[in-house]
Amino acid sequence: MEICKRPDDMVRITTKELADAFIEEQISEIRAQVGDKKVLLALSGGVDSSVVAALLIKAIGKQLICVHVNHGLMRKGESEQVIEVFKNGLDANLIYIDATDRFLDLLKDVAEPERKRKIIGGEFIEVFNEEAKKLEGVDFLAQGTIYPDILESDGVKAHHNVGGLPEDMKLELVEPVKLLYKDEVRVVGKALGLPENMVDRQPFPGPGLGVRCLGAITRDRLHALREADAILREEFEICGLSKTVWQYFIAVPDMKSVGVKNDKRYEGWPAIIRAVNTTDAMTATIEEIPYAVLHKITNRITNEVEGINRVLLDLTPKPIGTIEWE
């Protein structure tokens, strides 16, 4: 594959005007490349795939077929937002697949992190391929490849958003944001009219909550994790930390401790808060959270989330701890 290099004279996209110019340029390039053919896109709801989807809808409308696979490991409200923004708002040609049971059944009793990742990644490709085979006349595959992906893989992106497509599906790639850095993709997303909470969405691992529901995933613990994580995000929004912290989330381990509720002893899981800042994800520092905010988050999680009776704060920088627990 030819190494794709960002031109030295390419101006960094920092304003709406620059983003608008980029959008117009890409629209004509996409139309020239695609013509009247159909394009397939795995739309996760993440920043990159969302911006590519909005750009392609503007360029070729219903010729774009978006497939959103809900693997049951999304954060609270994320799949609903994809449907609301793209199907209802942009009138996208969107196929929505709720594969929750399929994924969670496969993950039952699987505790080893690497195995969990492989199952989730492999099954995602399987579900996507099944849908792709039902479609006719698709000649192109759109992807949210961005410039750091190319740099990290020495010119070839080894971990395409959808890898492992069958040999008989020889699709040409459409990668309109492949020369952009993440901050530029966000500026373009805002210029395209995508909601801020989608464009400013923090990094989220491909296996989703699967690597934050530590050990073997159970439905009740996954539900508790999703609810606790939503409270953390809500409170960070309220106090302004969402604007200054690069990544923040809850992890829930597969262990219980004794607690007290309604004057009775009961066993519950701990919710672990992780909040880090980084510029390159290679190293990360711990963000200081005011105690008043921690008290409020703790109070809400332990009172509102069934099954959680403690809230802990992870104070480990990277190195020595990785950003994710698994």
Per residue in 283-320, pLDDT (tens digit) is 899 989 999 999 999 999 999 999 999 999 999 999 99
DSSP bridge partners of 96? 68
Mean pLDDT of 68-86: 95
- Together in a domain, 195 and 222: no
Specify if 204 maps to a domain: no
pLDDT of residue 202: 83
Specify if 139 maps to a domain: yes
Q: How far apart are CA 294 and CA 234, in angstroms?
A: 13
pLDDT of residue 241: 95
- Together in a domain, 232 and 140: no
* Full domain range(s) for residue 306: 212-313
- Together in a domain, 118 and 243: no
Q: How far apart are CA 321 and CA 325, in angstroms?
A: 8
For position 273, which CATH number holds? 3.30.300.10
Inter-residue contact 296 to 235 (CB < 8 Å): yes
Q: How many domains is the chain built from?
A: 2
Question: Crossing angle, helix 219-239 and helix 291-304, to 10 degrees?
Answer: 150
Specify if 318 maps to a domain: no
Specify if 7 maps to a domain: no
Side-chain half-sphere CA neighbours of 167 within 13 A: 0
Specify if 325 maps to a domain: no
- Together in a domain, 128 and 186: yes
DSSP bridge partners of 260? 265
Inter-residue contact 4 to 178 (CB < 8 Å): yes
Inter-residue contact 78 to 86 (CB < 8 Å): no
The model carries a pTM of 0.86
In one-letter notation, the amino acid at residue 156 is V
Pairing outcome for strands 257-261 and 285-286: unpaired
Give the residue among 6, 281, 280, 3 at the shortest CA–CA distance from 154. Answer: 3
- Together in a domain, 140 and 270: no
| pLDDT band at residue 280 under the 50/70/90 scheme | confident
- Coil, strand, or helix at residue 267? strand
Specify if 323 maps to a domain: no
Percentage of the chain lying above the pLDDT 70 cut: 94
Question: In this model, does residue 31 exceed pLDDT 70?
Answer: yes
pLDDT of residue 169: 60
Q: How far apart are CA 185 and CA 144, in angstroms?
A: 10
Q: How far apart are CA 93 and CA 61, in angstroms?
A: 8
Question: In this model, does residue 83 exceed pLDDT 90?
Answer: yes
Question: In this model, does residue 278 exceed pLDDT 90?
Answer: no
Pairing outcome for strands 264-277 and 247-251: antiparallel
- Together in a domain, 262 and 232: yes
Encode pLDDT of 52-72 as tens digits: 999 999 999 999 999 999 999
DSSP bridge partners of 38? 138
- Together in a domain, 41 and 139: yes
Mean pLDDT of 216-226: 98
Encode pLDDT of 142-196 as tens digits: 999 998 888 776 544 344 444 455 555 678 999 999 999 989 999 999 999 999 9
- Together in a domain, 27 and 132: yes
Specify if 231 maps to a domain: yes
Q: Which of 170, 199, 228 is the last residue of a domain?
A: 199
- Together in a domain, 189 and 282: no
pLDDT of residue 153: 65
In one-letter notation, the amino acid at residue 96 is Y
Q: Report CA dihedral (326, 69, 157, 187) to the nearest 10 degrees.
A: -100
Q: How far apart are CA 255 and CA 42, in angstroms?
A: 35
pLDDT of residue 23: 98
| pLDDT band at residue 201 under the 50/70/90 scheme | confident
Give the residue among 127, 117, 209, 203 at the shortest CA–CA distance from 164. Answer: 127
- Together in a domain, 22 and 128: yes
- Together in a domain, 236 and 302: yes
Encode pLDDT of 95-137 as tens digits: 999 999 999 999 999 999 999 999 999 999 999 989 888 998 8
Specify if 322 maps to a domain: no
- Together in a domain, 178 and 264: no
Q: Which of 178, 199, 220 is the last residue of a domain?
A: 199
Q: Which of 199, 227, 259 is the last residue of a domain?
A: 199
For position 112, which CATH number holds? 3.40.50.620
